[in-house]
Amino acid sequence: MFVNRKSELSLLEDRFKSEKAEFIVVYGRRRVGKTALLLEFLRRNEGIYLLARETSEAENLKRFSQRVAEHFGDEFIMKNPFRSWDAFFEYLYQRADERLAVVIDEFPYLVKGNPSLPSILQEYWDLKLSKSKIFLVICGSSMSMMERLLGYKSPIYGRRTAQLKVSPLDFFEARDFLRGYSLENFVKAYGILGGTPAYLLEFNDSKSIEENLLDYFRPDSFLYGDARFVLMEELEEPRNYFAVMEAIARGKTTLGEIMNETGLERGTVAKYLSVLNDIGFVKREVPITASRKSRKGRYYIGDPYFAFWFRYVHPNADLIEMGQGDILVELVMEDLNEYIGWVFEEIARQFLIKLNKAKKLPFRFMKIGRWWHKGEEIDLITLNERERKALFVEVKWKDLKERESRRVLEDLKRKAKLVGLEGWEKRYGLVGKNVEGKEELRNEGYLVWDIEDFESLISY
């Protein structure tokens, strides 16, 4: 099942049509759909797909020789496989007098088998491949290793002509996986699974959320086991990293709160947070009006799948292992609406960004984020600093009567004064699950949306 990825495919297609030598690095966390993207690209444009395995260099070269020989109908290579990477790249160079697409997936496995491979590739790119018509893609799931391959100390630094980081789908892109759900139930499913295609495929939209959770909370479940697998593949000393992420999932978002929750020292927590931030499992936010160096930073788990797993699954693994997942389902369903609150804030952020791109807001904004100070918080603020315009938005995962909506908006005006921005043009908005009387509020100049308005931004 291939869904969306229009912008990623467009990037690859544009590069492919350039006819120039291209060396593209594709990377991203496991399960996000990198391989599906590259196979779809090759389905549309003839080429060679080579999947590395965690095996010997000789075995990978033998398998690559077979794929290359099949593609070109080359009996000689079939009987006489490549014995070195030099021979492999030389052969590609000889064949690349016409456009030739070659995708090498799980490239880090090859580097494990031969650490000098990046240097060999650098030499062939500089001397030969860059002067051919090759379209070379290397892809990997080990975020830490791929980041090193992209870094300035890597032999292939500066050789790539493009890089593409494949991220989980956003709420609106992911909707296509579970069309059978109402939007309200899909918000809940997205809060549990995030936008990773492999996880979305594990839910059956002909079943209720509770029924799907019963399948999730089993010892043999892919959803139950994969979080641990992905994290342990990326991290050393996973036990302490798990403690940090569990603390964040419980709402401990400042450095001090995480230290108190985990019992770890300040320097240790800071180091773990830095690593988690670098590889994309945790994100740091500061108030939108503060500098990035502000000490008011808060930490959040960026992916709903991991946030859900650390909030409910990891602390209750014993229930799952004992075959009592039904008890955990009850605990989750009692708390789910409270948990979904922060997920809905993230969905609202994505919604405003899409409206901004479509020019469907009163002004185009350049910055969007939260704001907080001394116990006061505003869920989202968008800023156009050049035009001195601001939009303040509250996000509520609940059904709102018109009177309650008015109270929320009036309190939002009060809090907006605390932000400062004197002399700026200010607008006020509200995103709710369902908002009664939203047309009347819009007529009074407020910007009001609920999940019904999300449909216009979902393309099937």
What the chain holds in terms of domains, given with CATH numbers, is 6-165 (3.40.50.300), 171-344 (1.10.10.10), 361-457 (3.40.1350.10)
User: Distance between CA 261 and CA 249 in Å, rounded?
Assistant: 11
Report strand pairing: 134-140 vs 22-27: parallel
pLDDT of residue 244: 94
Contacts of residue 288, Cβ cutoff 8 Å, sequence gap at least 6 = 367, 368, 369, 370, 371, 381, 383
Q: Which of 139, 197, 129 is nearest to 168 (CA)?
A: 197
| pLDDT at residue 211, rounded to an integer | 98
Residue written as token pair 């907006």 = 416
> Can you read off the two tokens belonging to residue 404?
């309650």
- 318 membership: H or E segment, kind and range: helix 317-321
What pLDDT, on a 0 to 100 scale, did the predictor assign at position 143?
66
Residues of the chain by 3-state class (helix, strand, coil), percent to 5:
55, 15, 30
Q: What pLDDT sits at residue 58?
A: 95
Name residues whose C-beta falls within 8 Å of residue 163's C-beta, 6 or more positions apart in sequence. 24, 25, 26, 27, 150
**DSSP assignment, residue 311?**
I
Rounded to whole angstroms, the maximal C-alpha distance in the chain is 79
Q: Kindly state the tokens that stand for 240.
A: 């302490």
* pLDDT, position 1: 57
Query: Which 3-state string (H, E, C) describes 357-412?
Result: HCCCCCCCCCEEEEEEECCEEEEEEEEECCCCEEEEEEEEEEEECHHHHHHHHHHH
Cα separation, 140 vs 14, in Å, equals 22
Q: Looking at residue 285, what DSSP letter applies?
A: E
Is the separation of the CB atoms in 59 and 53 below 8 Å?
yes
Pairing of strands 100-105, 134-140: parallel
Q: What Å distances lie between residue 368 and 186, 233, 275, 292, 364, CA to CA?
A: 24, 33, 25, 14, 11
Q: Return phi, psi of residue 207, to 5°.
A: -105, 155
How far, in Å, CA of 367 to CA of 28, rounded?
Answer: 25
CB 170 within 8 A of CB 350: yes
pLDDT averaged per 10 residues in sequence order, the chain, 460 residues: 81 93 91 92 94 95 96 95 96 95 94 92 95 95 71 81 91 94 97 96 97 97 94 82 94 95 93 88 94 90 95 96 96 96 96 95 96 95 97 97 97 96 96 96 96 81
CA pseudo-torsion sign 263, 228, 248, 286: positive
Could you tell me which residues come within 8 angstroms of residue 444 by beta carbon, excluding any fewer than 6 positions away?
none
Task: Return d(Cα 442, Cα 457) in angstroms, integer.
Answer: 19
Do the beta carbons of residue 301 and residue 245 sit within 8 Å?
A: yes
pLDDT at 459: 59
Q: Name the strand (E) or helix (H) holding 23.
A: strand 22-27
Q: Which two tokens stand for residue 193?
A: 């699974």
Place of tokens 């709903």: 304
425-435 and 447-450 beta bridge pairing: parallel
Cβ(270)–Cβ(255) below 8 Å: yes
Is the full-model pTM beyond 0.75?
A: yes
Beta bridge partners of 376: 373
